[in-house]
Chain A
């Protein structure tokens, strides 16, 4: 992805994050993702029905990279089956960790293609993915 376009996508999702709202609904599984080395602190709520991700919302305080990464992740995950979602998340991890990955799966999230060059920001991009992967894997193994 072109660097300038990538930067614009990140900024857009930071300034106008999607699905940033509080949720009070017991059907949602709640996850707190914190980065121990910095101050990011995100609450994510996910609704899974019939092995499909119906909705995700998030709240919290986080840097531009974490916030936009969360917003983009949610946009990409809603509507996916749990299996597809896990595949998407694994591809994102591979991209950030400089391993082989499938570009087609990630679409907009490719704006974080170069994040590996800034070691101290990798954990920001990955922050929302950590908790959610665990929830999805647990759902799969049930």
Chain B
């Protein structure tokens, strides 16, 4: 639906790599061009009219984000460069000061590199220990397995709400409720969930959330870190410099601004942030519930056809999100992607930045189709037609 809003779709392509990045609607592109053409001043310098307008637009996005994720206060929203940046800020700005030797960090082997590597480093620096929540037969996280993995030493659970390979939707609210009974913090990587389903951080009660604008119709280079207000106060800025200080006289005398500005050193990605605001308006207009429902139907449509192809092995049959990972029997994932590329179909092949998954899935690589609301049944039909004929794949993949 709404395909006419996306200039990229005027090209003859079938774009099925939305887990990597989404396409941008005209309104989001126009909003950024408008900034560059008509009020291209810096933020937080409201000494003249156009700069004041920048502040209004920039802070308006903060309000939009707050409402979009159901946060209580706008001060709980920090703009970053993306999910990776947000997760690094959470780990290095908050948990670095909290973790001690022997403390346990709970993640899974399905997490994206950005929800693994910052934890690995902080574990090395503090002597904290990484523990993995076991997954069930479908590679899902269950509340029972979370409970079984928690020890008196567990300090934090960090999970993607939807993983980027298996695409299972984790029971974040239930996990958080249990974790909080044990005084454990919950960090959520929302890169694959915030663009595709309704999120409410107040209802789920999570402590931290990270997500990117570019996977939800917004510009690249912008993301959000959400933290509960009382926790936000304890996040040490990773970057010091312009925009975030009140005054500085000597190493002993540095006075910082309040959150969230304290955590946004340097000139931010102004056009990007304003573009994110427009993306949120666009998503709100369609309605996140509608998007979720549409994608679920499209996934079911795709899966139904895909299971009937004997040489296709689906890795995540039971998942609920718009992510479908599979392999063609006897053919390397990347060769299938090259073959589909000849028909202008864009899919991802590889390990999808989740390199621990091989321990669990037993395969290193797969083809990933990730859907968004602008994908259609007829695009799926095209893809299925090309996957049906294994001889054709073999013949044309080189």
**B364 contacts which of A61, A64, A65, A118 (Cβ < 8 Å)?**
A61
Contact mask A107-127 → B, CB, 8 Å, 1/0? 000000000001011000000
A7 with B395: CB separation less than 8 A: yes
A61 with B338: CB separation less than 8 A: no
- A75 to B: closest C-beta gap in Å: 18
Q: Cβ of B113: which chain A residues have Cβ within 8 Å of it?
A: none
Number of A residues, CB within 8 Å of B: 16
Number of B residues, CB within 8 Å of A: 15
Assess whether A5 is interfacial by the CB under 8 Å rule.
no
Cα A10 to Cα B394 with chains together (Å): 11
Contact mask A7-28 → B, CB, 8 Å, 1/0? 1001100100000000000000
Q: Cβ of B351: which chain A residues have Cβ within 8 Å of it?
A: 39
Q: Cβ of B334: which chain A residues have Cβ within 8 Å of it?
A: 38-40, 63
Q: Cβ of B338: which chain A residues have Cβ within 8 Å of it?
A: 63, 118, 120-121
A11 with B398: CB separation less than 8 A: yes
- B357 to A: closest C-beta gap in Å: 12
Q: Cβ of A65: which chain B residues have Cβ within 8 Å of it?
A: 335, 398
Assess whether A62 is interfacial by the CB under 8 Å rule.
yes
Q: Cβ of B350: which chain A residues have Cβ within 8 Å of it?
A: 38-39
Cα A39 to Cα B350 with chains together (Å): 6
B364 with A39: CB separation less than 8 A: yes
B365 with A64: CB separation less than 8 A: no
A11 with B333: CB separation less than 8 A: no
Closest Cβ neighbor of A118 among chain B residues: B338
**B332 contacts which of A10, A11, A62 (Cβ < 8 Å)?**
A62
Q: A interface, by DSSP: helix, strand, loop or mixed? A: helix
Q: Cβ of A39: which chain B residues have Cβ within 8 Å of it?
A: 333-334, 349-351, 364-365
Q: Cβ of B364: which chain A residues have Cβ within 8 Å of it?
A: 39, 61
Q: Cβ of B397: which chain A residues have Cβ within 8 Å of it?
A: 64
Closest Cβ neighbor of B355 among chain A residues: A39
Most chain B beta carbons < 10 A, residue from A10, A39, A61, A65: A39
Q: Cβ of B332: which chain A residues have Cβ within 8 Å of it?
A: 61-64, 67
Cα A120 to Cα B342 with chains together (Å): 12
Q: Which residues 36-86 of A have a CB within 8 angstroms of B?
A: 38-40, 61-65, 67
- B394 to A: closest C-beta gap in Å: 7
- B350 to A: closest C-beta gap in Å: 5
Cα A7 to Cα B395 with chains together (Å): 8
Closest Cβ neighbor of B342 among chain A residues: A118
Closest Cβ neighbor of A64 among chain B residues: B335
Cα A104 to Cα B225 with chains together (Å): 60
Known contacts A39-B350, A39-B364, A64-B398; 6 further A-B pairs (Cβ under 8 A): A11-B394, A38-B350, A39-B333, A63-B332, A64-B335, A118-B338
Nearest 5 CB-CB pairs, A to B? A63-B334, A63-B332, A39-B350, A64-B335, A63-B335
- 5 pairs of residues in contact across A and B, judged by CB atoms under 8 Å: A11-B398, A63-B334, A64-B331, A65-B335, A120-B338
